Chain A
Amino acid sequence: MPGMNSGVNVSDPTVVAAFRSTLLHQGLIALLIFVVLGLAWLGLRELLPAAVRSAARGPVAMSAEPSWRVVLRVGFGILWIFDGILQAQPKMAVGLPSQVIEPIAATSPHWVQGLVNWAGTAWSYHPLQAGAAAVWIQLGLGIWLLTAARGPLSRLAGVVSVGWGLVVWGFGESFGGIFAPGFTWLFGAPGAVLLYAIAGGLIALPESAWRSRSLRDLLLPGVGVFLIGMAVLQAWPGRGFWQGTTNGKPGTLAGMTTSMAPTPQPHLLSSWITAFTGFDEAHGFAVNLFVVVALALIGVVFLSGRPRLIRPALIAFVVLCLADWVLIEDFGFFGGLGTDPNSMIPFILFATAGYLALISLPEPAEERAEVAATAPAGPAGWRKRLRAMLEPASLASARVSSVAALGAVGVIVLGAVPMAAAQASPVADTILAQAVDGSDAPLNFAASAFRLTDQNGQQVTLASLHGKVVLLTFLDPVCTSDCPLIAQEFKQAGQLLKGDARRVELVAIVANPVDYQLAYTQAFDRQEGLDGVRNWLYLTGSLPNLQRVWREYGIAADIEPAGAMIGHTEVTFAIDQQGRVRYEMNFDPGPGTAATESSFAAELSDTVQQLLGQS
């Protein structure tokens, strides 16, 4: 998938340091959000008399939040926070697309890969903003769910949880692999974050729905039906689960655990997984039979609706989930870049919530009626309640938890806005170019004069370019790797400059002591589509003349033996309108991905804008 990999090392110190710095800055802003909200709340409480506050609070007729909803809200709130913390891993900024998203998508159909590639490209172009956005959105969501127990804010947290969950499920988990072969409950199907989204959907339901018998009756049987379906899938022949080994190679399950065992993790865990792998290889049929029977039985019991039977089945299900979580899913976050603890904990939460919903006592009819009466219905009701919430008196009367929930909304906005703004830019962040070649070196000296011939056979001197900003580099016209990339970076920089491009000259001088003739600069221009670029000059001259220019600009252009290409310095000089060298940029294009190419173009464009701004 072309866009997934920016080519920059996942541990690149420049990006890691910048990611940490971004998180620190945004973390301080997040803290500030909570402090400002807290102070505003305290201030309003001081300003408004208690009577006004209690009037604003209105009639409090709500009964306790049902225990099953508490389990979902708190459980998934904690999971979101945990996921947010995992997103803050230093390697995440660069590594998520190539090391998390791409491997998951590898076995999915092309249309899924195309969709996922689009998102991965967006991330790899803006690793800092995307990485930080994932951290703050998930931390914010977690805090929001934990602190907003009741009312529109709580329901809204559920809605946002659905939205973000579906985004992560689709783009991050390739729809939990449901379109890929090998789809199985054991490996986490249908995707942990889909369960987050479903939980969000349940949390978003109105209070009247919480208490409806039908919803409570559906929750656990829903899990039961799903488990029976998974049991059928698990039993399906030809998917490699019945075999411990096939043709001397591990079967599907043993193959998965074999790949998990060597990942970095505590030795004890690794040895458990290795032992399980050996057991499955030896008794593949028995292991799969056990899984199929267990899933089917538990599913049937969950469907029965009989608490006495369900209680032991629930315990068995929790044990099965925990065993799977440790021995097969490897806790979900060990090894590589874990983004969540996978699906078993969410399944436990769902089954527990379903059980609690089933055994909870029905509420008195008058209480239900009272709740229904206090809750305005429909979109108009929503608007009315939100407007009422934002009135000073309502804010002053709010609980600490509501203020914290509002702060959590602020944290989500804090992560989402920079990412959205970054997405509006067509080019990659310059951090990628800096990761490859370091920062620009500021200079200030007169550029060496030259008289050379452009691709059209016209004489060009440096003096003739005065009044324009000159980006000057040295390119080998028959180079097979870097020079075409650098040329494209120049071309793209010219496009980014738009109207300012007429005040800029993009200049390359031949850096090849063998193939320096006009025919080669012309062929190179046609190859790179530069022959129609107005402010592009590819200059050459006699070999002695070129050698003098190379010497004065500190360029090596050496003939290498045995079929190797010319070894030459890859550097770009930014020369201001007065003919002075203002920046020297290392210009090795690095991995040459679309992301780094775009990043270098952005760096060139930024440098030009800076010099134009100084004139």
Chain B
Amino acid sequence: MTRRVPVTLSCAAVAAAFLVAGCGSTSAHEGVRSDGGVPAAPMDTSFGNATSTWATVLMGGSAAQHNNFWQLFIRPAGTSTWKLVTPPGTADNGGLVLAAGAGPAAISAFRPSQDLTFTPLIQTSDGGQAWSALSPLEAPLASTPAALAVGPAGSLHVLALTTSSTAEQASLTAGKWTTLASARTLAATPAGRQCGLRALTATGYLPSGAPLLAGECSHSGVAGIFADQDGSWQAAGPALPPSLASQDLTVLRLVTVGNQTVALLQAGKGQAASLLVAWSAAAAGHWTISPPLALHGATVTSASFGPTGAVAAITADGAAAEIVSSAGPWHRLPALPPGTATLALNGSASDALAVHRSTLTVWQLATGGQAWTRAQEINVPIEYGSSS
């Protein structure tokens, strides 16, 4: 026997269901990415500090991913010679992510590949001469050079962003990883809601040692940078000029150089996208912002950071530009040598690191120069087939 439900009651139930659904959910536009993951970013990069410049590039040139290996090079400050210092112990076909502090110490993470699912970590305190293992992160590290950050000298902390958009922190001495936040938990905070956080994209530390997380905001004109202030996440991004108020912003990189934090941001999408750099001296909240660099629809394939806060970017159309500080404009660099994977910046010159299979060629450009000159060639003993 069935009982007929009154029409008015049915309508009320349907209306209530809609109401409840509306209260309890966010729209797809504003929610955290449905796959919950961190967007992948190009991994070729370089970073300079007072003692050295580090660069990671992909070499091998094989169609098979397991035959291409990431290599780490270092150029000590005051020299013009690069050295191969790829960390040992783990196959690095999945990606090598480096986090360097102020001195010659650095931590490198091997992104898992093939059947490895966790992330081995290794550290050096002498510019890559000797390496020792750190406790592994038992999750795959996100595929971006911004997925790993090391605390400023003395903090002994490392911050990692996993592919599932979770930020994990470990003490270098204890080696135990604890979850700091995830895209979902951060999106639920007042700062996260203000940004309409879609995904986490970068990690970093303030010079004070406070962890920083950054991401992609769905609310226009908001730069999603968040600082952990005594256990609560606060908005720490720059206030953007009115000209960018209608643009969606994504933080591509967060880097601590000396006493300042440098953020690389993309404003807008597609043909309207542009690149911005924001510098924050000493503490968050006081940012200066570069003029925008129009990308003309091209994506950034490599970003490089110099020891004094200079930033350079290469785009997929082969163009490259550099900016030294917010006081100056972007400089378009001369046509890059073929195979340039990344740039490396120092005060007086820029290096272009060009890759052809297992050969790295270093090209140099003097400040204000118009032509690249070949400076060095390194043949890397890649063991093809060793990861099969």
B117 contacts chain A at the CB level, 8 A cutoff: yes
Smallest CB gap from B68: residue in A: A563
Find chain B residues with CB under 8 A from A481 CB. 66, 91, 114-115, 387-388
Complex contact B89–A559 (CB within 8 A): yes
B214 contacts chain A at the CB level, 8 A cutoff: no
CA distance A513 to B386 in the complex (A): 17
Complex contact B91–A520 (CB within 8 A): no
B164 contacts chain A at the CB level, 8 A cutoff: no
Q: Is the contact region of chain A dominated by helix, strand, or loop, or is it mixed?
A: loop
Smallest CB gap from A518: residue in B: B135
A480/B89 contact (C-beta < 8 A), A523-B136, A567-B386 known: no
Find chain B residues with CB under 8 A from A509 CB. none
B383 contacts chain A at the CB level, 8 A cutoff: yes
Find chain A residues with CB under 8 A from B131 CB. 514
| Cβ of A138 to closest chain B Cβ, rounded Å | 38
Complex contact B380–A562 (CB within 8 A): yes
Contact of A563 among B92, B118, B135, B175 (CB under 8 A): B92
B110 contacts chain A at the CB level, 8 A cutoff: yes
Number of interface residues of B (CB under 8 A): 40
Complex contact B387–A565 (CB within 8 A): yes
A401 contacts chain B at the CB level, 8 A cutoff: no
Contact of A519 among B69, B113, B117, B136 (CB under 8 A): B136
Complex contact A480–B112 (CB within 8 A): yes
CA distance A560 to B93 in the complex (A): 14
| Cβ of B56 to closest chain A Cβ, rounded Å | 10
Number of interface residues of A (CB under 8 A): 26
Q: Is the contact region of chain B dominated by helix, strand, or loop, or is it mixed?
A: loop
Complex contact A478–B120 (CB within 8 A): yes
| Cβ of B112 to closest chain A Cβ, rounded Å | 7
A566 contacts chain B at the CB level, 8 A cutoff: yes
Complex contact A563–B71 (CB within 8 A): yes
Find chain A residues with CB under 8 A from B86 CB. 561-563
Complex contact A564–B91 (CB within 8 A): yes
A563/B133 contact (C-beta < 8 A), A478-B90, A512-B89 known: no
Q: Which of A501-529 contact B (CB under 8 A)?
A: 512-517, 519-520, 523, 526-527
Contact of A514 among B112, B122, B381 (CB under 8 A): B122
Find chain B residues with CB under 8 A from A520 CB. 120, 133, 136
A564/B383 contact (C-beta < 8 A), A481-B388, A519-B135 known: yes
B132-161 interface bits toward A, Cβ cutoff 8 Å, 1 = contact, 0 = none: 110110100000000000000000000000
Complex contact B115–A561 (CB within 8 A): no
Complex contact B122–A563 (CB within 8 A): no
Contact of B116 among A484, A513, A516, A561 (CB under 8 A): A484
CA distance A271 to B71 in the complex (A): 51
CA distance A512 to B89 in the complex (A): 7
A282 contacts chain B at the CB level, 8 A cutoff: no
Contact of A561 among B94, B117, B135, B381 (CB under 8 A): B381
* 14 other A-B residue contacts (CB within 8 Å) besides A480-B387, A517-B133, A561-B383: A478-B89, A480-B90, A480-B116, A514-B88, A523-B118, A527-B117, A527-B118, A559-B88, A563-B86, A563-B96, A563-B382, A564-B386, A565-B386, A565-B387
27 A-B contact pairs sorted by A residue (CB < 8 Å): A479-B91, A479-B115, A480-B66, A480-B112, A480-B113, A480-B387, A481-B387, A514-B89, A514-B90, A514-B122, A515-B120, A517-B133, A517-B135, A519-B136, A520-B133, A523-B136, A523-B138, A526-B118, A526-B138, A527-B116, A527-B117, A559-B88, A563-B71, A563-B91, A563-B92, A563-B93, A565-B91
Q: Which 8 A-B pairs have the closest CB atoms?
A: A514-B89, A563-B69, A565-B91, A484-B115, A563-B92, A480-B114, A564-B383, A564-B386
